[in-house]
Amino acid sequence: MSEGLGEPVQRSMAIECGVLEHAVVDGWMKRIQSARVTEQICDVVLFNEHPAVITVGRRAQHDGYEVLTNIPHERVERGGGITYHGPGQLIVYPIIAWQGLKEQSVRTVTSRLEEWVIAAFGELGIEGQRDERMQGVWVEGNKIVSIGLAFYKWVTRYGISINVNTERGVVESLRGCGLEEGTSTSLSVLGHTCTISEMTAALILHAPQTIQRELHRATSEEISALMALTDGPSLDEQFGVT
């Protein structure tokens, strides 16, 4: 561990997964979370994209929901409402043990994740902001980032959706998380040009001073060991590592 902002900075594993089906990652995340709870592994952060899917959180399931689109949808165990995932959106799943007493509140964890994204945006010349009425990150009055988490013994799964360069009109047409149609959009629609890879690199760079995790890109050997322990998806198929 190293020190950052008066708190220990923990060495953690970053895995850039490419494009994965949401259903594949959903079950795998739960197994990684269980392994983290039992301290078999360090913190793991997954970076990936999903083929088009709408996930329906616990609040939307409780309140009743109607998905007016032909995009497939899946119920999930995170908090929150309806969220779109698809090409051009970076999904970040921090499977992290928030062990410090200062970390163990849902609002504190959410705030740290927001700070992390805002710092990464700043690295790319984008001014991100919070809206105290709703979690997430906003740019020029538009919602760009959604956050939804599930906790088990203060280890998180699910996480952050960043609309980098999603197809115009897709996220804009959905009323996710109680927002009016047209409130959410992507960075590309607002004229900010960056790639999924650039956003991932900015997040890895700013993790130590915001979420107190030093993310190192996992080696193929580390990924293989994690796969074996957590019954993960095929290494060759999903990561192109031979």
Q: Which residues pair with 89 in a beta bridge?
A: 163
Q: Cα-flanking dihedrals φ and ψ of residue 22, to 5°?
A: -60, -45
Integer CA distances (angstroms), 19 to 6, 119, 123, 239, 240, in order: 37, 25, 24, 9, 11
Out of 17, 42, 177, 194, which one is annotated catalytic?
A: 177
Tokens 């009109």 belong to: 169
Give yes or no: 177 in active site: yes
Integer CA distances (angstroms), 204 to 33, 37, 164, 237, in order: 20, 23, 16, 24
Q: Which residues pair with 142 in a beta bridge?
A: 139
Neighbouring CB atoms inside 10 A of 133's CB total: 5
Tokens 């115009």 belong to: 168
Residues with active-site annotation:
177
